[in-house]
C-alpha cells in the first residue's frame, strides 16, 4: 500500500509542476511579445518562478520516500 501511495504522490507532484511551469512560461512569452523591452527582466523572473515551482515536487518526492521507507 505504501508503494501505491508513493507512486500517486510522485505522479501528482510531477503533473502539478508541469502544469504550473507551462502556465508560467506561456504567460512570460505572452508578456515578452507585448513588451519586448522588458524581456530580460521577465526572463529572470520566469526562471526564479520556475525554480520555485520545481522545488515543490522535489519536496513531495522526498516526503513520499520517507513514507515508503519508514
Residue-level pLDDT at 1: 86
The whole-angstrom separation of Cα 31 and Cα 18 is 20
Other C-beta atoms within 10 Å of 64: how many? 20
Residue-level pLDDT at 52: 94
Domain boundaries, the chain: 2-69
Question: What's the pTM value of the predicted model, to 2 decimals?
Answer: 0.81
Residue-level pLDDT at 19: 96
CA Rg, the chain, in Å? 16
Q: What is the DSSP letter of 70?
A: -
Residue-level pLDDT at 70: 83
| Topology (CATH) of 2-69 | F1FO ATP Synthase (1.20.20)
Stretches in the chain below the pLDDT threshold 50:
none
Amino acid at each position: 500500500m505504501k508503494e501505491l501511495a508513493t507512486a500517486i504522490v510522485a505522479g501528482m507532484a510531477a503533473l502539478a509542476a508541469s502544469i504550473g511551469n507551462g502556465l508560467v512560461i506561456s504567460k512570460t512569452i505572452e508578456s515578452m511579445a507585448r513588451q519586448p523591452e522588458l524581456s530580460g527582466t521577465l526572463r529572470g523572473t520566469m526562471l526564479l518562478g520556475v525554480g520555485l515551482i520545481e522545488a515543490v515536487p522535489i519536496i513531495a518526492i522526498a516526503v513520499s520516500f520517507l513514507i515508503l521507507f519508514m
